Structure 1
Amino acid sequence: MLFGYTLRRLLMLIPVSLSISVIIFAIVHMLPGDPIDNLMPVGSTHADRVKMVMKYGFDKPLITQYFLWVSHVARGDFGNAIVMRRPVASLIADNLPYSLSLGALAFAFSSIVGMALGLISVALENVWLERIVRGFILLGSTVPGFFLALMMILLFAVKLRWFPVSGADGWRSLVLPVLTIGFGGVALVARVTRVALMDAQRMDFVTLLHAKGVSGPNILLRHLFAHALLPVVTILALRVGWILGGAVTAEFVFGRPGLGSLLIRSLGQRDYPVVQGCLLMLALAVMLGTLIGDVAQAAMDPRIREEAS
């Protein structure tokens, strides 16, 4: 049954991917400016510009350009960068490992610390400590990522000189970007974990466990946490895409290579093929995270599989 559910979810990604590709293509071509402007040398004539436009296929109708792009992407060909004059797939392959390493560490940090804070906020009997944890969760939910990144650079890189300001040289250059991306995730995961645990505490079996003499920490860790995992797993799966999206800001602020830096640089150059390829990769990451979350939910809760069948 789980295999059938997974197969149906995979098939649903096909129309979703096509719809997203249409949106990406439309948005990119609505941007002001023209990539040809960055290629034309000083003193070029109108005829030279027309030849350049025809060379890159911008003279064709947009619908034709879209179908050509989608057909090539389906074969694994993202086209060639107009300004950097390299295959887009090669540019993505060079930058993707940096984004994946940053995203994986930020995901692990936000998941572990977030669930731990959620558990602590429910388990603590000290009102003041619980308020401190809840205040931290609120702070993490409201502070913008770019502002946090600038404050971390100012404090830990400029004032204390503990970490480098920018670059991707060694583990020390990862600390501040990981904290920047993971901080908001910690707050989100902690809040979801806390709410799920508090809802689970109201269930009838908790009263029965207390009546049997089971200790509070044992009930929390062995019974309540298992019931609270379903919404936590969902939000963690969605974080896969959100983290790669958040890496765009962090990579730009911290001067790191990656999909985010490549995307922002290509946006400034109006390099359509590169922008389309980067946005498509980020969208696929979100869809993959959603798929993982749905399959994990179905594996944990048979009712979801039955409803979908």
Structure 2
Amino acid sequence: MATTIAGPEATQADIEQVRRAYGLDRPLAVQLADWAGHAVRGDFGESFYFKKDVSSLIVERMPTTFRLGVFGMLVGLALALPLGILAALYEGRFIDRAIQLLISANQAVPSFWLALMLIIVFGVHLGWLPTTGADSWRHFIMPTLVLGLSVLPALARLARSGMIKALASDYVRTARAKGLSSFSIIVKHALRNAAIPIVAIAAVQFGNALGGSVVIESVFALHGVGHLAWESIIKSDVAVIQASVLMFSIIYVVITFISDVMNAMLDPRIRLS
């Protein structure tokens, strides 16, 4: 790291000076304890590549990543739930098999390849959408679609299995015997119970979406935390990498906690300790 900061033309004396300036000459345990103490106060040091405070870099770029993650999850859920419900209603029939084939095909396509294809078709050839930047909502259409499709398979499969189990339950049979409409049975009875595992897996998929934002933001040149992490990895900017990983981890823990609370609200049998 000291060699990278000092530059390719640096002498050994310059490298040693950098090591002392950044505290790299101290034991690793001492460095870690010092970093943790500052991190608790929100001080992640200064980026040697961007020449800015790391905390300010994260704060500047977090809104872009957050918007991308939230919009991507909403798109994923908006596509996965209808597909999963439809497949469950036609379990074992042509529609079910067609949907499962479509989901498997989607899962087999790498996100970066899909992103490049969308850029070539809708950005370059047709010119309908901007290919880079984050100046308007139109810049988020393609990245959001790619991220939404990346989380779709797990959500759709879980929605299908949850709905199949719910539709075969006693309370659904009772609702049918009472003469309730199919819409009421699906939405008010079956989907409510099938939503419990979907909420849990959605939190996991949101974490995966944050990790996937590194690739997607880099392809579409969205200046979010994912793109920041990618630039920092290339430049070996350890301070920014550490802060980015910590921020992603904190967000993941918070989202997981929220999903537990939502599950408790959906299912009274779940008790929070």
For Structure 1 versus Structure 2, the TM-score category normalised by the shorter chain is over 0.9
Among candidates 65, 70, 93, match of residue 104 of structure 1: 70
- Contact 2:2–2:19 under 8 Å retained in 1: no
How far is 1:124 from its partner?
Answer: 4.9
Cα offset, 1:214, TM superposition? 2.6
- State the shift of 1:126 in Å: 11
Give the Å deviation of 1:194: 1.0
Decide whether the 8 Å contact of 2:6 with 2:14 is kept in 1.
no
Of 187-196 and 130-139, more deviation after overlay is shown by 130-139
1:217 aligns with 2:183: yes
Gaps of 5+ in 1: 1-33
**Alignment RMSD:** 2.0
- SS at 1:302 equivalent: coil
Instruction: Give me the whole-angstrom Cα distance separating, in 1, the residues matched to 2:252 and 2:22.
Output: 30
Q: Is 1:37 matched with 2:4?
A: yes
Query: Mapping of 1:255-274 within 5 angstroms?
Result: 255-274=221-240
The change in CA–CA distance for 1:93 and 1:36 in structure 2 (over 3 A counts) is: farther
**1:141-220 equivalences in 2 (<5 Å):** 141-220=107-186
Aligned-pair CA distance for 1:207: 2.2
Q: Where does structure 2 lack aligned partners over 5 or more consecutive residues?
A: none
Residues in 1 aligned to 2:156 and 2:237: alpha-carbon distance in whole angstroms: 40
Matches within 5 A, 1:63-82: 63-82=29-48
* 1:277 maps to 2:251: no
1:131 to 72, 97, 106: 97
**Secondary structure at 2:201's aligned position in 1?**
helix
Report the TM-score when normalising by structure 2.
0.92
CA distance in 1: counterparts of 2:151 and 2:2, whole angstroms: 36
Structure 2 distance, partners of 1:77, 1:270, is: 19
Which residue identity is paired with 1:97?
A: P
Letter in 1 for 2:87: S
- The alpha carbon displacement at 1:302 in A equals 3.1
Query: Which amino acid counterpart does residue 3 of structure 2 have in structure 1?
Result: I
1:298 aligns with 2:257: no
Q: Structure 1 stretch 169-178 or stretch 138-147: which is displaced more? A: 138-147
- Tell me which of 220, 236, 260 is aligned to 1:254: 220
Residues 88-122 of structure 1 deviation map (CA, whole Å, 9 limit, x = unaligned): 00110111111111111111111222112222223
Distance 2:257 2:6 in 1: 41
Q: Give SS of 1:303's match.
A: coil
Paired residues of 2:64 and 2:224 also in contact (CA < 8 A): yes
Equivalent-residue separation in structure 2 for 1:142 and 1:206 (angstroms): 35
Look up the match of 1:4.
Answer: none
- What letter matches 2:202 in structure 1? L
TM-score, normalized by length of structure 1? 0.82
Distance 2:51 2:184 in 1: 61
Deviation (angstroms), 1:41: 6.2
* Identity percentage of aligned residues: 35
Q: Deviations over 1:115-165 (max 9, x none)?
A: 122222233599444333222222233322112112212222222222122
Aligned to 1:286: 252
| Cross-structure match for 1:119 | 85
CA distance in 2, matches of 1:125, 1:87: 55
Paired position in structure 2 for 1:9: none
Q: Which residue of 2 aligns with 1:235?
A: 201
Higher relative contact order (CA 8 A, sep 6+): 1
Q: State the Cα distance separating 1:224 from its structure 2 match.
A: 0.6
